[in-house]
Each structure stands twice: as C-alpha cells, then as structure tokens.
C-alpha cells in the first residue's frame, strides 16, 4: 500500500483495493453523504501516485462537475456528466443512429421499442454489483477500470 493511502478514510482505502485489483466499483449515496469528498480524495491520491494518469470522472449533475473541477484541477482529469460523456462518444454517429431508428420504426416486425424487463429497476439492483462497499454513507462502489480512451 502506498504510504499516502494510510491517511485516507476507510471507504476510500476500500476503493483503492478495487482499483489495485482492477475490479469495478460504483460510488453511490444520498445527498450530503460524502460522495464528492470521497471521490476527490481518490482522484487526488491517484494524481499523487501517478501524475501522468488519465482520469475520467462521470457524475449526474453539472454542479457536481464544477465542484470536482474546483477541488481538483489537473490537466489529465476529465470531469463530465454521464450525459455529456455519452454524447461525446456518440455525437459522431448521428446519421447512422437516425437511419437505424427510422429502419426500426418502419419495420412491422419490430413491434414496440419498450423493453419490458428493463422498464423498472429492481429494489435489489445494487446487491448484484461486484465487490460492494457498504457503509452508512456509501451504499455501494463499482466502476469500470478498463483502459481509458476519451476520444473527442
């Protein structure tokens, strides 16, 4: 374990256990539970250990994006909402997406676009996440740690 990690909160050290093992984690919790604080601690420690690491951070709100960018300013940190991240990855395929939607809409065998089994999220959804970290403040932790390639 890197010496700087000893000063981190136990939940943040558990996140690093996931990172070191290249396991997925999702940081989730209610308003005011310390998600941003924990995430900023993780990002700062990653930068301290590897200043050249490219870090992608996705959140749900623009205010969280601004808050994280204000707390951690680093050239290799890319903070965005999940919507902006996804849009940046699909915006170059608008023509193909439109054509696919038109083709599907005009296919009589296609039926409805509604996917019944995905229309609701089951109450135990987070129970199936790999290596959950459960604390009073943090419900579960999961992130895909595959190679980061953020193409504009």
In a domain, 98, yes or no: no
Tell me the per-residue pLDDT of 28-41, one tens digit each, with 9 for 90 and over: 888 888 888 888 98
- Tell me, yes or no, whether 52 lies in a domain: yes
Whether the pLDDT of residue 21 is over 90: the answer is no
| Higher local confidence (pLDDT), 13 or 67 | 67
> What tens digit of pLDDT does each residue of 50-78 get?
899 888 888 888 998 999 999 999 999 99
Q: For the chain, what percent of residues have pLDDT higher than 90?
A: 16
Structural domain of residue 36, as residue ranges? 3-89+124-128
Q: Is residue 114 part of a domain?
A: no
Task: Please report where in the chains the tokens 């558990």 appear, as a residue.
Answer: 14
Phi/psi region, residue 81 (left: phi>0; alpha: psi -120 to 50; beta: rest), is beta
| Mean pLDDT within 117-122 | 53
| Whole-number pLDDT of residue 38 | 86
Average pLDDT, the chain: 75
User: What pLDDT shows up at residue 66?
Assistant: 94
Q: In total, how many domains does the chain have?
A: 1
Domain presence at residue 136: no
Residue 116 lies in a domain: no
Asked if residue 81 belongs to a domain, the reply is yes
Is residue 100 scored above 90 in pLDDT? Answer: no
Instruction: Judge whether residue 124 has pLDDT over 80.
Output: no
* pLDDT of 132 higher than 60: no
- Domain assignment present for residue 133? The answer is no
Q: Is the pLDDT of residue 148 over 60?
A: no
Residue 37 has a pLDDT of 87
Torsion, CA 56, CA 60, CA 61, CA 62, rounded to 10: 30
Render pLDDT for 77-91 as a digit per residue (tens, 0 to 9): 999 998 998 898 888
């Amino acid at each position: 374990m890197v010496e700087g990690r000893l000063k981190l909160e136990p939940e943040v050290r558990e996140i690093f256990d996931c990172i070191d093992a290249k396991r997925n984690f999702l940081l989730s919790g209610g308003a005011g539970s310390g998600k941003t604080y924990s995430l900023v601690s993780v990002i700062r420690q990653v930068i301290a250990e590897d200043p050249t690491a490219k870090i992608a951070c996705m959140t749900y709100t623009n205010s969280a994006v601004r808050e994280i960018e204000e707390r951690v300013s680093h050239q290799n940190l890319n903070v965005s909402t999940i919507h902006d991240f996804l849009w940046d990855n699909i915006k170059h395929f608008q023509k193909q997406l439109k054509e696919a939607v038109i083709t599907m809409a005009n296919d009589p065998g296609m039926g409805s676009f509604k996917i019944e089994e995905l229309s609701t999220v089951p109450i135990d959804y987070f129970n199936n996440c790999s290596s959950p970290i459960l604390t009073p403040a943090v419900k579960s932790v999961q992130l895909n740690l595959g190679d980061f390639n953020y193409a504009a």
